[in-house]
Amino acid sequence: MAIEQTFSILKPDATRRNLTGKINAKFEEAGLRIVAQKRIWMSRQHAKTFYAVHAARPFYNDLVDFMVSGPVVVQVLEGENAIALNREIMGATNPANAAPGTIRKEFAESIEANSVHGSDSAENAAVEIAYFFAGLDIVG
User: Which positions touch ligand CMP (CB under 6 A)?
Assistant: 54, 59, 63, 93, 111-112, 114, 117
Shortest distance (Å) from residue 114 CB to ligand CMP = 4
Among the options 11, 26, 48, 117, which is catalytic?
Answer: 117
SS3 119: coil
- One DSSP character per residue, 5-57 reads EEEEEE-HHHHHTT-HHHHHHHHHHTT-EEEEEEEE---HHHHHHHTGGGTTS
| Nearest residue (CB) to ligand CMP, 127 versus 139 | 127
91, containing H or E segment:
none
In the complex, least distance from residue 24 CB atom to ligand CMP, rounded to whole angstroms: 18
Strand, coil or helix: 128: helix
Of 8 and 24, CB closest to ligand CMP: 8
Nearer CB in complex with ligand CMP: 16/139: 16
C-alpha to C-alpha distance for 105 and 97, rounded to whole angstroms: 8
Catalytic residue at 46?
no
Residue nearest to ligand CMP (CB): 117
* CB-CB contact of 91 with 104 (8 Å): yes
Closest distance of CB 21 from ligand CMP, Å? 21
Q: List active site positions.
A: 117
